[in-house]
Structure 1
Amino acid sequence: MLVNELSKRTGLSIHTIRYYENLGMIKGVTDENVTSNNYKHYDANTIERLEIIIEAREVGFTLAEIKKILISWFETTDSKPETLELFQAKIKEIDDKMKYFKQTKSLLEKVCEKIQSNND
């Protein structure tokens, strides 16, 4: 499929798809028999890669981390401990953020209570 179809099927813009391709996260193939254009073709594997990228971005992975995940997932068979470590580090990071946000929320609630009691 061409990049337009890939964009429609994933919901990503063509610009974003090209960006991920420039980073080496996906790869399109040009037809060497056609010299009149530089159209790249993408297979179903590319959709799977892009879906992983989308989901990983949604949970807070950086592009560098996602690239490691993709390499581990698609290109190597013995990097499971490294991948597990990456996911565990992200879980810890999320736990730390949750703790910070709970503390921030508590502080804001106290400020709101003070403001309310001063208005009474």
Structure 2
Amino acid sequence: MAMTISELAKGAAVGVETVRFYQRKGLLDDPRPSHSGRQGRRHYGAEDLRRLRFVRSAQSAGFTLAEIAELLALDASQDRPRARAMARSRLEAIDQEIARLEAARQSLRKLAGECAKGDAGPCPIIAAFEA
């Protein structure tokens, strides 16, 4: 099943420019015929769509483009121990971000409660962020 770049982009729910960006970064192949020196039409297959979806999912999980490139290389070399180590490291970073967000939520909840106690004096929410 050959797809155009717009069909590939639509299949992964991204824009055409996103596909081109990933190609420039080396995360996706650019299948244009280059032997003639002319700009040709791109034709993509199911593997290209699978790879594009992987890149988007890995980005959503917080991996950087460099890490995604490394994961793709690890997949080709079947280096699962390194892939697991990268996943564990990303999980640790996510856990730290969750802890930071939970602390921020608790602080805001406390400030909102203090603010609701009355209208006299400075707003505790604004005062807290000015400090």
TM-score by length of 1: 0.86
Q: Matched residues, percent identical?
A: 23
1:106 aligns with 2:106: yes
Could you say which residue in structure 1 is the equivalent of 2:30? 28
Is the contact made by 1:27 and 1:42 (CA closer than 8 Å) also made in structure 2?
Answer: no
Could you say which residue in structure 1 is the equivalent of 2:126? none
SS in 2 for 1:51: helix
1:21 to partner: Cα distance: 0.6
Is the contact made by 2:33 and 2:39 (CA closer than 8 Å) also made in structure 1?
Answer: no
Could you say which residue in structure 2 is the equivalent of 1:76? 77
TM-score by length of 2: 0.80
How far apart, CA to CA, are the structure 2 residues paired with 1:11 and 1:67? 20
1:12 to partner: Cα distance: 1.3
Gaps in structure 1 of 5+ consecutive residues: none
Is the contact made by 1:7 and 1:13 (CA closer than 8 Å) also made in structure 2?
Answer: yes
Q: State how many pairs are aligned.
A: 118
Gaps in structure 2 of 5+ consecutive residues: 121-131
Could you say which residue in structure 1 is the equivalent of 2:124? none
1:58 paired residue among 44, 55, 60: 60
